[in-house]
Structure 1
């Protein structure tokens, strides 16, 4: 497995690609996401090669005025409801900052059903400033998003007035996921051919996930690569759990409340919500599992042998 080092050539390709597009005369290539109407288009990138670096570089340079939420569709499972909640909270924060102050008090989507969240994201614009959140989806055709119900929910989200979407596909049959309404009305795709020919360094790690299989050296290397793709704070939270597991080898796991207390004392998290977001990443990557303790508590454990975990902690410390 190759290390997740982003080559300068890949960054250079992505920057030069979009610079070239900006100098062209395409009507949509200006990426005017601030169009006054709610009939925005979605950008769909396709072509051979990983588009992860390309899209992330584009988001970090061209979408700096917008709140961006990234979904890694190449993971085996994606919590779409959590994504919708995060998007709604971002838009709510933007609306609260409007000069007229019309959006104060309790959030209008406290029930947090998908219908309520989508209805809020499709709310009316304000005259003072358009409130948008950009949803970036790596591999919208990935295994965690591929079923029909999820695709229809994504299409409904993409059609919301406060939402713009940038996504990539890799599977040759990906267009079969959508009907005409989804393609031309809800997603309103602008198809963009970007054959990067870049290796699928990160996406390939998760097909299949092999933390609990193979030899110790391969397992540690895989886990290390996964951790490198997470934020430093997430890595620190994982380290707290790992050190507890090594120090208490006879216990069934670390209670979630205990982990929260330990992380809060170290100023790694400020709330249970923050910890839960890290735990969701760990579970999605199969770095951490949950099992019921004999006293009824839910406990967290890392599905690695003692030797493998010690080597992994040593790599985190480097």
Structure 2
């Protein structure tokens, strides 16, 4: 028996692996650009998608209807101080709104649509404080002389003061609370860290209960251990509905459609996320310069090299040129001639789209 045979087979496998990797990286660089994609008008694409005939409607309706038997348990969880987090494939908007309108009819309910870009968490918490104030007035749990002062100062108060008002000890009753229904708590309007922190503080208030849905596979990464177990205090429920994201999708530009600067920013994010962290940082320097010097033709290459070298992002002009070639190949950066004859770099995006791009890659 040849005991060296397994070792030779393993060596041959390893050798073939590295040869394949070498062959894969030796090919020419792709010359394809985002502008080469044959896209259509967004309105035309939406009309075409609206005409797609839905399938399995009866099965979907029966599945969603079967979750109604869980309504009493969900109400019990809320009364015990837990929050409800619904996950699973399909839109859960109609499900939790039906739950709120039927099983929570005896409670005050506020709906937040996280799929909207324009959600303002300060306005939401202010509205909740005003609702709580009306409840306290009806139950006469506040001195009558203090009520006007509360109402007049809500909009000018800080978030800390509003959260402190919502966490009043006299409202620590499981049968009396305000329910906050959040469609897509992982949506673009609520996804940033600061907003999630405020939502966690809101959920921990004695007078608030939260019912929320998530759809992104990485949504749990928005929260740390303290937020999950102490503030939100989630009860997780797997409730796939297989329903269309028709309403939520109205507020997202289609990836196969052209037109808006927001869509250009989204495609730019996809490209930048595939680049190295140093390349992203070089792009950030150029973007920040463009935002702070809106009247300039662009940023001189020498200036970009100096700043990049100071921040230890590039070691030579050759390295910077490699990054710029990557940017230009994907049409993230373009050049134009300054009146003094010097070539300047600029990003072909509006300031609003550029700010959104920077927040996405941060």
| Higher helix content, 1 or 2 | 2
Partner of 2:131: 90
Matching of residues 36-115 of structure 1 within 5 Å: 40-99=81-140, 102=143, 105-108=147-150, 109-110=153-154, 111-115=156-160
Distance 1:22 1:137 in 2: 17
Pairwise CA distance, 1:8:
7.7
Pairwise CA distance, 1:125:
2.2
Pairwise CA distance, 1:170:
0.3
Relative to structure 1, is the Cα distance of residues 15 and 94 closer, same or farther in structure 2, using a 3 angstrom cutoff?
Answer: farther
Pairwise CA distance, 1:130:
5.4
Relative to structure 1, is the Cα distance of residues 10 and 79 closer, same or farther in structure 2, using a 3 angstrom cutoff?
Answer: farther
TM-score by length of 2: 0.51
Partner of 2:193: 148
Pairwise CA distance, 1:112:
2.5
Matching of residues 114-263 of structure 1 within 5 Å: 114-126=159-171, 131-208=176-253
Pairwise CA distance, 1:129:
8.9
Q: Is the 8 A contact 1:43 1:189 kept in 2?
A: yes
Question: Does 2:68 match 1:18?
Answer: yes
Please say which structure displays the higher CA radius of gyration. Answer: 2
How many pairs align? 205
Distance 1:91 1:199 in 2: 35
**C-alpha RMSD of the superposition:** 3.2
Unaligned runs of 5+ in 1: 215-318
Unaligned runs of 5+ in 2: 1-45, 260-362
TM-score by length of 1: 0.57
3-state secondary structure, aligned to 1:137: strand
Partner of 1:314: none
